[in-house]
Amino acid sequence: MIFSATPARVRVPATSANLGPGFDALGLALALHDEVEARVAGTGLVINVEGEGADEVPTGEAHLVVHAMRRTFDVLDTQPGGLALNCINRIPHGRGLGSSAAAIVAGVLLARALVTDGVERLPDGEALALASEIEGHPDNVAACLIGGLTVAWLADGARAVRRDVDPAVTPVVLIPPFTASTEAARGLLPDSVPHRDAAFTAGRAALLVAALTGTPQALFDATEDRLHQTYRAPVMPQSAQLVAGLRGAGHPAVISGAGPTVLVLARGAAEAQAVLSATPDDWTGLALPVDPVGAQIIS
């Protein structure tokens, strides 16, 4: 097995999953990126982190990019003697914007790029399946890998299809100064829901795909959800209150992923600006275009 003599560098986007009714299935890639560079070294492990999480993430084998790289090297039946990693993080951690998915996708693609025949031995479909296995669900990693709007599902591994988003749609994220635990949020979900709520949400998820890909005027109705957001509200009451207020004003607002960031799928620049003007004082509001490409190995 031959390793590349030059470093590999990857650019990975933030993502928002669920988008309201598309629980564990729909994902959207956003133009906010982490960049990670890795090279094979003789021995040891050196990790440098700048930006988001620089003082919080582990700097050893528990680092999520390293963990994903190790898993990928195992699939490729090789392990380098040492690694050096440089991370420039811009995606907020613990906010429901796919920071863990970005780290996992970065690790899978970097390890694949550092093995000379890695792309042939681990094609894109298998890379998605591996990233989903590491993450535990496919929605964020699918959007991170292939960009745009993705619909992901499990069938002998993770699979996904991608669609272009109507250019009239401007995603706006309102990021709070606090984090939320994905595990805690999932822990509040009931084992079963009323059939009428499941049917309602399935219909809205189907409508959401149509709305995002050509019928944006339907986005308000399309972002209604009865499957998960109400149940999760107790762990992020400020976010739930903000979603309710924005929806009360007619904006298609949802919780981004497991929260606590709020996502609004604004229908044009005017609505995006109106939403940004409603950002709470201690929150950060960003209008983020859809990333149509997804993760990229860059020179």
Determine, yes or no, domain membership for 135.
Answer: yes
Same domain, 199 and 248: yes
Instruction: Measure the CA–CA gap between 195 and 265, rounded to whole angstroms.
Output: 27
For residue 119, what are its two tokens?
A: 């792309």
Tell me what pLDDT residue 97 has: 98
Angle, CA of 206, 92 and 69, to the nearest 5° = 85
Q: 126 — phi, psi (to 5°)?
A: -75, -30
**13: domain CATH number?**
3.30.230.10
Same domain, 31 and 105: yes
Tell me what pLDDT residue 181 has: 79
Determine, yes or no, domain membership for 1.
Answer: no
Tell me what pLDDT residue 180 has: 81
Determine, yes or no, domain membership for 2.
Answer: no
Determine, yes or no, domain membership for 100.
Answer: yes
Q: Which amino acid does the sequence have at 243?
A: V
Determine, yes or no, domain membership for 273.
Answer: yes
Same domain, 38 and 148: yes
Same domain, 17 and 150: yes
Tokens 């109507």 -> residue = 166
CB 150 within 8 A of CB 162: yes
User: By CB neighbour count within 10 A (0-12 exposed, 13-18 middle, 19+ buried), where does 92 fall?
Assistant: buried
For residue 126, what are its two tokens?
A: 């298998």
CB 53 within 8 A of CB 41: no
Tokens 């528990």 -> residue = 62
Question: Cα 189 to chain center, whole Å?
Answer: 20
Tell me what pLDDT residue 126 has: 97
Please name which of 144, 6, 14 lies closest in space to residue 84, comparing C-alpha atoms.
6
Range of the domain at 85: 8-164+291-298
3-state helix, strand, coil in the chain (%, to 5): 35, 30, 35
Tell me what pLDDT residue 59 has: 87
CB 170 within 8 A of CB 272: yes
Question: 63: part of which helix (H) or strand (E)?
Answer: none
**222: domain CATH number?**
3.30.70.890
Tell me what pLDDT residue 1 has: 64
Determine, yes or no, domain membership for 28.
Answer: yes
Q: Which residues of the chain have pLDDT under 50?
A: none
Determine, yes or no, domain membership for 144.
Answer: yes
Q: Which amino acid does the sequence have at 185?
A: A
Cross-strand pairs, 126: none
Same domain, 38 and 153: yes
Determine, yes or no, domain membership for 32.
Answer: yes
Same domain, 231 and 86: no
The residues near 258 (Cβ < 8 Å, ≥ 6 apart) are 17, 96, 180, 181, 182, 185, 186, 232
Same domain, 80 and 192: no
Give how many domains the chain has, as a whole number. Answer: 2
Tell me what pLDDT residue 249 has: 98
Same domain, 41 and 185: no
Tell me what pLDDT residue 132 has: 98
Please give the model's pTM, rounded to 2 decimal places: 0.95
CA distances from 184 to 24, 189, 258 (A): 16, 9, 9
Same domain, 182 and 237: yes
Tell me what pLDDT residue 208 has: 98
Same domain, 71 and 152: yes
Question: 8: part of which helix (H) or strand (E)?
Answer: strand 8-18
Same domain, 147 and 278: no
Instruction: Measure the CA–CA gap between 70 and 65, rounded to whole angstroms.
Output: 9
Pairing relation of β-strands 253-255 and 22-41?
Answer: unpaired
Q: What 3-state DSSP class applies to 238?
A: helix
Please name which of 87, 98, 94, 123 lies closest in space to residue 108, comparing C-alpha atoms.
123
Same domain, 198 and 130: no
